[in-house]
Structure 1
Amino acid sequence: MVGKKSGRALLREEGLERTDNNLDLTTWPQVNMINQKNYYTEFLKRDDQFLAYRAPLEEERSRMVREARDKDRALAQGAPADGAMAVDTEDAVDEAGASITSREDYVSKLIIMHVGSQNLRIGLGTDALPKTTPMVIARKWKENEAEEDGGEPSPKRLKVDGAVPAEAYPEKWFGEDFANQYQTMCSELRTRMRTNKRRVLPNSKELVVNFNRRTPPDIISEHNDINRIDWTEIPANAKNAPEYFTGHEALRIPEASKPRYKLFWPIRNGSFNEKDYTNRNQIYHDMSKIFEEAFRTQLGITKPKDLANYKCVFIIPDLYERVYVTMMLDILIRDLGLGKVCLQQESLSATFGAGYSAACVVDIGAQKTSICCVDEGMCVEESRINLKIGGADVTETFIKMMLFDHFPYAEMNLKRRYDFLLAEELKQKYCTMDESSIIVQTLDFHLRASGQDTRRYQFKTYDETMLSVMGFFKPSIFDHSHKLDGRRKVIPRSVDLYDGSPNDPMSIAQIAVIEAAGGKSAPVNGTQEPVASAAGASTPARAQLNLLNRINDMEGTPKSSVAGSPAPEGTPVPDRDTPALGEADQPLIFRDPVLEKTKAAEERDKVVPAMPLDHAILESLTQGARGEDRKLRDFFGGIMLIGGGSKIPGFGVFLETRLRELRPFYGKEILVGPPPREFDPQVVIWKGGSVFGRLSSSGNDSWISKAEYDILGSRLLSNKCMFAW
């Protein structure tokens, strides 16, 4: 029997005995294991660990150090010798002078930009008013815009009896639908004027048509025209002709120029123009060239390298598209080289310019109308509305109505540059919403075209000047047939980085507008019927209906648990529309939330958001008040009309009357007015951006610097924007 062996003997026999000299096998430092029951990390838990927060603090700290050094240097060079009191006085003087100098330098290096579909308003922080330049670029092309599509004019004339429309049938040029709507609006206006005790002549239309039909123009030679136009000069040698023109020069290029130039408008209906462009880079470069020329001609910044010393407040729409914002930011910082850029929403900027803390801002632009409630320095997200109607629709409809009534200049074509400028001039001069001005009156205008003698036309108008503006309250009279052409063909929509679902901002008010425009619901006294939203969002009434449906549909869940727990994404859900089957035979369907959101966004893109302006304002107010009657009354008393379309005489009074008819219980509270202090409604938004930009940079952490943008790109916007990105 073998005796028991010791542990040392076993180690020796098995070869497991340690024979080294206790030296480490490597000189690399060894880290002990972490006790997972008791450990803590501060990674990304403090603001100073984010570059977006840390960089402004470091910049402010370096600025304070630099100012302190300059102050000490000034004291050392000119320190007085009469005691401490003199030193303190000199210190105060130097400090005040230094602050004033630095403040003036800061404001002089501040640029404010407001981009619209038709005009760009740009200016420095020291300017009282902005400079306005058309948002257009003319490039060399094989044919101009009036020669495309076989020279088809705008507004389009339909053929009469299978032939080219003759001048004897202008009332048939635009189809029966337009003619019926126009005549209906004429009858409604006559009835309204009789109700308001206005004098209405029974043969007013006949007087207008007969006068316009038989009045020839007067010819004025060019040397006798004191208001002749200076056209853009094109070199005789086509090879020396510039590649492009921008702004007013582009609109004054002769139609028959050699070489031909075509106008491109990069912004259309408040977003990128995907109809006239085939490449995203073309839009990018055209926007960059327009901005660069505006800096040079309007602001006097001739050297591109100097832009690194400038800051820019760039104003974006309330209901923006993320691709639009990121592309504009990329143009300003990377392509043009601006030092810092700050983003500001239009309605919030308008309240800065007007000095209001709470208001409902109605901005009527050239091709879009935006409505938004602003409360305590923030745009109410669910109240934002973007209508694709504006002053350009009024211009086109006004010309249609004039041509319908045998306008003497029957060849008017809004695709021609001089005709477009003439139509805008006629609209600004003669369109009104004042019923007392609706009488038969004789007017005139001068037609000036390059290479032609000036022609002076006389014409009569009656109700066309008001009915064209009434399109804001009856948008079916406007032509919406081409507003969605090319949509999402050049620039795809923005999607979420993680699940690929559309992530452009959307509001309940905008969804209600789209549903009404698509025929899913009808406005009832300015509000929408409870209809399930295409995007999954719902108003409180819709939420109550959905909750009741869920309660009624629940069979296996106890009544004490009303909501239940949502199933994970992709979980098979039984189809409730099928008859009851056995558990093994029950058909299952899979719901993909990302696919549903994508389809809903695609359906929304097929509908032109157009709605009567008064109903849209009430929808925005309803969502902005969030059910609070006191807040609703505050918004009713602070409806502010801005934008070029709001300058039509009598427009605010007419809108106020319509709102009081729809909401008689709030008749005393409803107040629609222009901006205070006799501000031009077109520049209030720009002025608000200037006020915001003048705030000290130390208290404003929304500036995006070039160094930060080079590192993080558009990811900075989630930390830099004052609104939900």
Structure 2
Amino acid sequence: MSQEADSGTVYEEPIEIPLEEEDDDDEEDDVGETAGDSRADTQDEAHPEDDEEADEGDGDPEGEGEGDADGEGDGDPEGEEDMHGTASRSGTATPLGHGNNGEGDEDDMEDEEVDEDDGDENGKRRTSRGKFKKYPKLDPAKAPPGKKVPLHLLEKRRLGRIKAAEEFAKKLKKIGIEKVESNTLPSTGLFQPMLLINQKNYSSDYLKKDEQVFALRERKVLRNNTQVSSMANTPDVADLKKENGQAELNETNGDEDIDLSDANTTLVIHPGSDSIKIGFAKDETPMVIPACVAVPKSDLLGEVSNQESKRNPYGRQQPADFEELKSDIQQSFKERMRFYKRKVQPNAHEQVVTFNKQSKPEYMEEKNDFNRINWITTPDRRYYGKDALRCSKDHFIVRRPFVKGGSFNIESSDYRSLQDLLGDVTGLLEYTLGSQHFELKPSQFSQYKLVLVIPDLFEKSHLETFIGCLITELQFQAVAIIQESLATCYGAGISTSTCVVNIGATQTRIACVDEGTVLENSAITLDYGSDDITRLFAIFLLQSDFPYQDWDIESAHGWLLAQELKKNYITFQDANVTVQLYNFIKRVPGKKAEKYDFKVFDEVMLAPLSLFYPEIVEQLQSESSPKVSNTKLQDQLPVSRDIFTDNLNDWRSMSQAECLNGELYCGVQDDFQTLCKVLDSQSKVEESQTENITVADTRKNYAPLEKAVVQSITNASLFLDIAKMAPFYSNILVCGGGSKIPALDFILTDRINIWRPRLLSQNSFPTFYKKLAKQIKDLKAAGKNSEGKTSALPEEDQSQEKVNDIIQKEFQKYMETIEAQGNGDHTLPVSVLPPPRDMDPAMLVWKGASVLAQIKLVEELYLTGTDWDIHGSRILQYKCIFTY
């Protein structure tokens, strides 16, 4: 596109030449340009009538320099284009009709000396006319002798670069990618502010789009199957494809043949402390394998002395503290029966003891015992899963590699090293996948993907070690992870705000889920579960003169009997708590089966009531837990730390910390103190986020279940939206194997209504809280604006007094309103949801993970072997559905 100068002379738009590249042709160009300038000056002297027009339209350094400075020049540092579209090698554009096009022909080279002399004289004359007053460095006469590039050319290039930089900055500002220092999002909340643009990649689109991230680009390549192996065209691979088929070629190509949308090649694993649930994504129910490995004592080389020396605390005689806690539970049971007008027999306990003392066994023949157990007493090899449960305690050590909902059992003294523990994990998975249901060999694992279920409050070091074992040791194609509470909502088909209560074997986990996100500050882990109920039920039976006199609960056959009795008889149904007659079969390895009749009374309800009175569980665990932990494994698998600050970087939950410190909302008797505690929650969260924690908190959480639920829902609503409190209480979903107790939902609803603070149970509390929080915020903002005249300390004290006065006045008004309304239908309703579609609550978490494995979202979550090799654990920041 052409443009006209003020004099009417027409020029072509310049061609941009890179300024940084200079070769041997620059010297020739400079000579040609000098010659062109000299000839142009000679023509000015020969034609004075055209002098003014030539001065305005000439392409000499002076004219271009002025055009660049004014912002009207072409900005070309070295060359322009003539009317015929040819680029001038000399860098000078001569007006049409002046005779010289600046191409530097032979005639010009012959007259070079004359032109240079003429150019010097003309340059002096122009300087005298004031042409070089503004830019004296452009004067050719002042160029140093012997220099390849004259100073006027270097100055012209510098001005061109300045102009190009200004134009480029304008374009960046116009398209909206200029550097802005202020954050567009607050530092708190679910979303983190965006990072500033890297100045190194300022003008590119690198990492400005999701597909620019390596992990996502790799996923796109795998999904489109566009990546071709470097070995694909070799003769050996071609022959292999013809002879052995496509299956062998898939193993050769590796990640290129991953089909992310095939649910038939996707396995879902939910590891737990009691069992591992594993199955294909399209299976209706998973295969449940006990998470235990039986190792012959001869293989451990005599390292079992600690196991033999542990005392068995599960007997008839218990300490006085235990008896006091048991009496408290009995008192609560009697009050509940009295409240619901249930009749209790006065001499029921004496009837049970009298009958059990007189009960005699009935011997059974093996042919009549249809559920007989073939015990394993030959320590010839290791046994996994159900076979491990049948191994005799005299010849085997039964080890459990998982604990705490899927974490590694590094506290157990049965393991000598971390590799020993990981060997049990890989052996257990290979045994399960090699069973009749799957029939998979370890060489076929590379054709399958995994969806792994992890706890809500997971330990990063354990998770990263487990994922590395699945990808590098077992060599699965890809692995995706999902948290338990979110998987529970997927399995139940609930999309609203939900509070999930998962009662497992050794732990009970509580968390609130909103819009597909597990709220971190609502997660609570309680260190008791259904196994503690089993042990407590066995102790209560023994104290009622159970016919099985020498019952060893910790033995393989004794534990199977305890679990069977708990599964069949414990309940929360008030109407069923009376003197009942039952029977059981005693099966001991090497002896005939014996059938006993026995009676029970309140033991069936006292044992599960320990969920709401966990002090008795704490007493029991303190007596049974070993005094010495395995420090060797803990050193080999330490807690995860930040590489820069050396602080612990696992998930932190405000609710978990408050439960450990005893700062529960249900423990506050005064409503005004509850209100102050709620208003201070935001500041506590900010302090906890900035707190540097270098030592792991090893305390155990024994908060009562109903109080922990109130704590989780309250904190989740405060940190997200106080209006979410109503849907959280209306959607309490109970799952896990320990939730199969009849009428658990009924008693949990009652306990929450009993212990929930009156202030937090009001339907109008969210509106009152928002109004009061806004007033306090405005008052603090006004106090900050008025500071400056007085000292800081009195001003802060005065501002705090004003805040306290407002809280007191608004609280009194609100309580008067509540008293006027009464306690009718103005409380937040509590609703505990049963598992949908009569689904087994123990399988609900696995079912939700299988749902995730069949939707499109899972494609973004898969970690491949290539991802793990290149990035390691850092790839989890891009491939998790939650903030890792």
TM-score (norm 2): 0.61
Q: 2:26 aligns to what?
A: none
Instruction: Tell me the residue number matched to 2:293.
Output: 137
**1:445 equivalent in alignment to 2:584:** yes
RMSD over aligned CA atoms reads 3.4
SS in 2 for 1:626: helix
Of 697, 704, 707, which residue of structure 1 is paired with 2:863? Answer: 704
Shift of 1:192: 2.4
Question: Structure 1 residue 623 and structure 2 residue 758: aligned?
Answer: no
1:465 to 599, 604, 624: 604
1:54 aligns to 2:191 (yes or no) = no
Pairing 1:142-291 to 2, within 5 Å after superposition: 142=298, 149-150=307-308, 152=310, 154-157=312-315, 170=316, 173-232=317-376, 234=378, 241-242=380-381, 244-256=382-394, 260-270=395-405, 271-273=407-409, 274-276=411-413, 277-291=415-429
Report deviation, 1:620. Answer: 0.7
User: Does the CA-based 8 Å contact 1:522-1:528 persist in structure 2?
Assistant: no
CA shift for structure 1 position 410 = 2.7
1:281 aligns to what SS in structure 2?
A: helix
1:377 aligns with 2:516: yes
> 2 CA distance for matches of 1:134 and 1:723?
29
Rate the CA distance shift 1:40–1:309 in 2: closer, same or farther, 3 A.
Answer: same
Q: Distance in 1 between matches of 2:308 and 2:376?
A: 25
CA contact (8 A) 2:499 2:731 kept: yes
Look up the SS of the partner of 1:363 in the other structure: strand
Inter-partner Cα distance in structure 2 for 1:717 and 1:120:
23
Residues 1:315 and 1:485: Cα distance change in structure 2 (over 3 Å): farther
- 1:497 maps to what in 2? 643
Alpha-carbon separation, structure 1, partners of 2:458 and 2:588: 39
The answer for the alignment partner of 2:731 in structure 1 is 638
Q: Select 1:651's aligned residue among 722, 744, 747.
A: 744
CA contact (8 A) 1:367 1:389 kept: yes
Other-structure match for 1:424:
563
Match of 1:123 in 2: 279
Kindly indicate whether the alpha-carbon contact (under 8 Å) linking 1:153 and 1:413 is maintained by their aligned counterparts in 2: no
- Displacement of 1:408 after TM fit? 1.6
Pair 1:724 & 2:883 matched: yes
Asked if the contact 2:665–2:711 (Cα under 8 Å) also holds between the matched residues in 1, the reply is no
State the distance in 1 between where 2:666 and 2:830 align: 24
- Aligned counterparts, 1:329-478, within 5 A: 329-358=467-496, 359-478=498-617
The answer to whether the aligner puts 1:677 opposite 2:677 as a matched pair is: no
Q: 1:546 to 1:466 in 2, by over 3 A?
A: closer
CA contact (8 A) 1:120 1:132 kept: yes
8 Å CA contact 2:314, 2:539 repeated in 1: no
Distance 1:330 1:64, change over 3 A: closer
Q: What is the deviation of 1:418?
A: 0.9
Q: Which has the larger radius of gyration?
A: 2
Distance 2:750 2:614 in 1: 18
The 1:694–1:131 alpha-carbon spacing in structure 2 relative to 1, beyond 3 Å, is same
User: Is residue 666–residue 755 contact of structure 2 (8 Å, CA) maintained in 1?
Assistant: no
Of residues 376-385 and 467-476 in structure 1, the stretch that sits farther from structure 2 once superposed is: 376-385
> Structure 1: how far apart are the matches of 2:552 and 2:654?
39
Partners of 1:531 and 1:506 lie apart in 2 by 24
| Residue number in structure 1 paired with 2:653 | 507
Q: Does the 8 A contact of 2:456 with 2:523 survive in 1?
A: yes
Aligned match for 1:480, one of 621, 645, 650: 621
Larger relative contact order (Cα-Cα within 8 Å, sequence gap ≥ 6): 1
Give the CA deviation at 1:530.
8.1
Report the Cα offset of residue 264 of structure 1: 0.3
Distance 1:218 1:525, change over 3 A: farther
Using a 3 Å threshold, how does the CA distance of structure 1 residues 623 and 545 change in structure 2: closer, same or farther?
closer
Q: Residues 645-683 of structure 1: CA distance to partner in whole angstroms, max 9, x if unpaired?
A: 111011111101111223464656210022211111011
- Indicate the SS of the match to 1:500: coil
Query: Is there any run of 5+ residues in structure 1 with no aligned partner, and where?
Result: 1-16, 23-33, 67-101, 158-169, 533-537, 551-592
Determine helix, strand or coil for the equivalent of 2:344: coil
Change in Cα spacing, 1:527 to 1:113, as seen in structure 2 (3 Å) is farther
- Greater helix share, structure number: 2
Residue identity matched to 1:304: P
Q: 1:61 to 1:268 in 2, by over 3 A?
A: closer
* 1:443 partner SS: strand
- Between the aligned partners of 2:753 and 2:342, the Cα distance in structure 1 is 21
CA 1:139/1:629 → structure 2, altered by over 3 Å: closer, same or farther? same
Secondary structure in 1 matching 2:434: helix
SS of the residue aligned with 1:683?
Answer: helix
Q: Does 1:325 align with 2:463?
A: yes
Match of 1:163 in 2: none
Q: 1:597 aligns with which of 693, 699, 714?
A: 693
Q: Is the 8 A contact 2:219 2:859 kept in 1?
A: no
Distance (Å, rounded) in 1 between the aligned partners of 2:559 and 2:321:
25
Residue from 696, 713, 719 that aligns with 2:872: 713
Q: Distance in 1 between matches of 2:518 and 2:740?
A: 24
Contact preservation (8 Å) 1:642, 1:681: yes
Partner SS state of residue 480, structure 1: helix
Counterpart contact for 1:365–1:390, Cα < 8 Å: yes
Shift of 1:524: 2.8
Closer, same or farther: CA 149–46 of 1 in aligned 2, 3 Å: closer
Gaps spanning 5+ residues in structure 2: where? 1-143, 150-160, 170-198, 230-257, 764-826
8 Å contact from structure 1 (residues 637, 670) kept in 2: yes
Once the two structures are TM-superposed, the CA of residue 146 in structure 1 deviates from its matched residue by 11
1:655-666 mapped onto 2 (5 Å cutoff):
655-663=748-756, 665=762
Contact 2:265 2:280 in 1 (8 A): yes
Residue pair 1:521, 1:531 contacting (<8 A) in 2 also:
no
Q: Give me the identity figure in percent.
A: 30
